[in-house]
Every structure is written in structure tokens, then in C-alpha cells.
Structure 1
Amino acid sequence: MTSVTTGRRGGNRLRALLAPLGVAAGTGALFAFVGAVDPNQPGHYPTCPFLWATGLYCPGCGTLRTIHALSHLDPLAALGLNPLIVVMVPVLVFWWGRWVAYAWRGRSAPLPHPAWLWVFIGVVMVYWVVRNLPFGAFLAP
């Protein structure tokens, strides 16, 4: 009975790790694709619809080129394209690692306090506005 229980427990651990490992695989595939297909060359990716329609930068403008620069281990170039994304990478890696640790222990990771979501939304909104103002031109891609 003990070996069956242990076997089930190991199976549950692996099953619980499938989601975070799937996210890691998808993210790795995205980084590999964007690293191989240069977004600096015209015709590979569509134009940002917000930039096309308004002439203003959205919070995500420059993200593909940022990912390309990060995949080529050029963090300074990435910072010049979209500093918010570069700052968010370690934060996302932390949350992903936390998810893996909880899944390994067979537990669900608790969600962060909702106030953190509002703080993040506020930061993105301020970033969006500031990067389109003259004094925030250094944030433009």
C-alpha cells in the first residue's frame, strides 16, 4: 500500500508540474522564434494597431524587439526599447518559480493580494502616458 501511495504522489507531482513546465516551454519557444526572426526587419511581424491608428506608443510597443535583444543577451538594447518589459522579466520569473515550488509540494500557489494587480495596472497606465509625453521620450522604443 505504501508503494502505491508513493507512486500516486509522484504522479500527482508530475501532473501538477505540467502547467508551469508548459508555460516555460511556450515562453522558451516564443523567445527562440523572436530571437531567430528579427523584428527589426520589415515584413516579419504586423505593426502595433494602436501605434498605427493613433501614432502613439502603447505599453507593449517595442516588446518584440526587446525580446529579440534579450534573446541575444543584449540587456542594454532591450532597456532602450521597452524598459517595463525588461523590469517585468525577473518579476515573472519569480512568480513562475513560486508556482513551480508550490506545484512540487502538491499545493496551489495562493494568488497575490488584489492590490498588487491594481498597482501593476497603475504602473502600466502611467508608463503608457509618460512614454508619449515629450519629457518621457527616453521611454519610447
Structure 2
Amino acid sequence: MTAEPTPQTEPSPRTPRPAGAYDPRLREAEEFRSRPLGRRLLAPLATLAGTAAAFAYVAAVDPNEPGHYPVCPLLRFTGLYCPGCGGLRSAHAVAHGDLATALGANALAVAGYAVCAVLMAVWLIRVVRGTPTRITLKPAWWWAIGALTALFAVTRNLPFGSALAP
């Protein structure tokens, strides 16, 4: 009788690794730090430039005037507001510094802009410090975000939630 080899499995993230064990995250961090700062800043600065350009365009071309942007297909065919309806108007208001109007157009979008701004700042700070950034959410968080978005969409289409409608 011969003993069969036991399969080698990767220890779970919660299990402490023995001293001197290979950790792929450490190697990735070392490789990231070895890159020049300019190269590390390329992705976050390009993302920031694209976002700034999009907000500048929406600030310059008023979505409150008909004919500049396409109509939401869900609103056009069903008369129901989707979670994104009013998002361009809220971006226009944010770009002009009018937070009250932005919240009235689409409060969920304004919250999204704030979350994106915080994540962008964290990304830039971590890049400058030489720390790789990886944001991973557990499935429960994705379900919670989806449920919140669905609740927002349903509520803004009901009579008692008309304050959330654009």
C-alpha cells in the first residue's frame, strides 16, 4: 500500500502564515514600490482627469435644457424613474456648487460622487506612499448596495417618496 500525497492548499487569509512563508501580496507590494512615482501615479491621475473632464462637460452643457442628452429609456417607455434619473442634473449642480439642488435631483448619485471622491483620495495617498490599492468587497456588501439602490428606485416612484424624484 502506498500513501497518496496530500494536496497542498493555500492557507486562508485568517490563518497566520509560518515565518518565512511565501506571501504573494508582499511580492506584489515590493514590485509596486519599485516602480517610479510617476509611473505609479499614471492610473489614478488619468482616472481623475477623465472624471474631471466629464464633470466639466456636464457643467458646461446644462442637462436641464432639452436636447443636449438622451432621455432615460425607462422613463420614456414606462414613466418610471430609474436609480440614475436626475444623475446628470445632480452632477451639473455639484459642479456649480449647489448641493441642495444636487440632492433634490438625485440623492443617491450625490452619495456616489462623495464615495468616489473619498476612494480617489485614498488611492492617490496610497500610491504616493508606495502601497498598492486593492478594494475588495464581500458579497454581502454588494447585495446591500444592490438592495439600497433597488429601495431607492422603488421609493422614488411611490407617492410618499416623491421628494426623491428628480
How do 1:1-141 residues align onto structure 2 when only pairs under 5 Å count? 12-114=36-138, 115-141=140-166
Q: Number of aligned pairs?
A: 133
| Root-mean-square deviation (Å) | 1.6
Retained in 2: the 8 A contact 1:13–1:105? no
Structure 2 portions without partners, runs of 5+: 1-32
Retained in 2: the 8 A contact 1:82–1:140? yes
The structure-2 alpha-carbon separation of the partners of 1:13 and 1:118, relative to structure 1 and needing over 3 Å to count, comes to farther
Structure with the larger RCO, 1 or 2 (CA within 8 Å, 6+ apart): 1
CA distance in 2, matches of 1:69, 1:97: 22
User: Identity percentage over the alignment?
Assistant: 49
Summarize deviations over 1:109-134 as a string: whole Å, max 9, x none: 13233232222111111101111111
Identify which range, 98-107 or 126-135, moves more after superposition.
98-107
Displacement of 1:82 in angstroms is 0.3
TM score, norm. by length of structure 1: 0.86
Displacement of 1:49 in angstroms is 1.1
CA distance in 1, matches of 2:45, 2:65: 31
Retained in 2: the 8 A contact 1:65–1:81? yes
Give the equivalent residue in structure 2 for 1:5: none
Structure 1 portions without partners, runs of 5+: 1-8
Look at both structures and tell me which one has the larger radius of gyration over its CA atoms: 2
Runs of 4+ deviating beyond 6 Å: none
Aligned amino acid, residue 120 of structure 1? I
